[in-house]
Amino acid sequence: MNRLEIAIAAAREAGAVLRRKLEQTRIVNTKGPRDLVTDADLAAQTAILARLSAADPEAAILSEEGGAAPDLDGPVPTWVIDPLDGTGNYARRLPVFGVCIALLIGGQPELGVVLDPLRQELYYAERGHGAFLQIGRRRPQPLTVSAVAEMGQAVLGAGWPREDHLRGQAAALLPRLGYACHSLRLLGSAALTLAYIAAGRVDGCLHLNLQPWDVAAGAALLREAGGQLSDLNGRPWQIHQRALIASNGRLHAELVRCLAAD
């Protein structure tokens, strides 16, 4: 198995865990203010770590619910994992969540996998080889971002931060996008939102506090599907950046302008 196949196998195993546990009684704990972790996050993570550490023992691992904090900018290949993106949705049985696995080398995503286990939608990309969506066991289809070039026609995604001070910032910025765009979606899963931009379903998004595991897989998808990822000023995205905008590329400059407007 190559590394992409390993990542896909691990994501599918975690997805099966999440599907199986969804209807069971949840154990929900709080990690921080408005920040949940459930038994399902931990079980999905266990499945991924077992697969990755057996199949790729040389690589380092950063997983959201794990302890290690490897150097993401260094030369050692590092798996970056979010076993359940959209925990808040999952805990309420809102069916919008995903599994994210990326491999970083030198801070750059070499490959990324996002799986929506309920729709059986597997998004994956490998540097230089394009991005694809496989639905069920059907033939994978290449992903391309949308052609929407005007804000008035754009469907945008956004996150609603947990932290009070970032809620203030979001409350100031979101109306700028909300008035200018066609419509706004707060899906509750940053990873699926990025995958949807890669797939042309959504045209752009704004998130103010993401972690490497939220973004790394989606960044690989976006790069290969022709999208763009940056900070709020349009400077190229880097792995440690918390606030970001993503888009189909065509809308990017307008998104930056819209957010900067007085």
Q: Which residues are near ligand IPD by CB under 6 A?
A: 82, 84-88, 159, 188-190, 207, 209-210, 214
Q: Least distance in Å: CB of 177 to ligand IPD? A: 15
For residues 228 and 194, the answer to whether their CB atoms sit within 8 Å is: no
Residue 52: half-sphere exposure toward Cβ, Cα within 13 Å: 29
Tell whether residue 116 is a contact of Ca ion (CB under 5 A): no
Tell me the closest approach of the beta carbon of residue 91 to ligand IPD, in angstroms. 9
107's contact among ligand IPD, Ca ion, none, with CB below 5 to 8 A by partner kind, is none
User: Residue 209 binds which entry of ligand IPD, Ca ion, none, with Cβ cut-offs from 5 to 8 Å by kind?
Assistant: ligand IPD
Q: How far is the CB of 106 from ligand IPD (least distance, A)?
A: 24
Q: How far is the CB of 58 from ligand IPD (least distance, A)?
A: 27
Q: CB–CB of 59/52 below 8 Å?
A: yes
The amino acid present at 36, given as its one-letter code, is L
Among 116, 121, 126, 214, binds Ca ion (CB under 5 A): 214
Find the part of the chain contacting Ca ion (CB under 5 A) among 7-15, 43-51, 107-115, 210-218: 210-218
CB of 147 to Ca ion, least distance (A): 29
Residue 189 contact partner, candidates Ca ion, ligand IPD, none, CB within 5 to 8 A by sort of partner: ligand IPD
Of 159 and 249, CB closest to ligand IPD: 159
Position closest to Ca ion via CB:
85
Residues 80 and 216: beta-carbon distance below 8 Å:
yes
Contact residues for 93 (Cβ-Cβ < 8 A; gap 6+): 22, 23
Distance of closest approach, residue 175 Cβ to Ca ion, in angstroms = 25
Among Ca ion, ligand IPD, none, residue 210 binds (CB under 5-8 Å by kind): ligand IPD
**Applying CB under 5 A, does 64 fall inside the site for Ca ion?**
yes
- Give 59's strand partners: none
Smallest distance from ligand IPD to CB 138, Å? 27
Which amino acid, residue 19? R
| CA distances from residue 55 to 3, 9, 119 in whole angstroms, order as listed | 9, 10, 27
Per DSSP, helices labelled H in the chain are 3-21, 39-55, 87-91, 164-180, 190-198, 212-225, 252-260
Cβ distance to ligand IPD smaller for residue 63 or 250: 63
The one-letter code for the residue type at 232 is: L
Determine the Cα–Cα distance for residues 232 and 227; give it in Å rounded to an integer: 15
d(CA 225, CA 222): 5
Q: Are 183 and 152 in contact (CB under 8 A)?
A: no
Per CB under 5 A, does 82 bind Ca ion? yes
Q: Which does 70 bind (CB under 5 to 8 A by kind): Ca ion, ligand IPD, none?
A: none
User: Do the Cβ atoms of 143 and 134 come closer than 8 Å?
Assistant: no
Q: What residues make contact with Ca ion under the rule CB under 5 A?
A: 64, 82, 84-85, 214
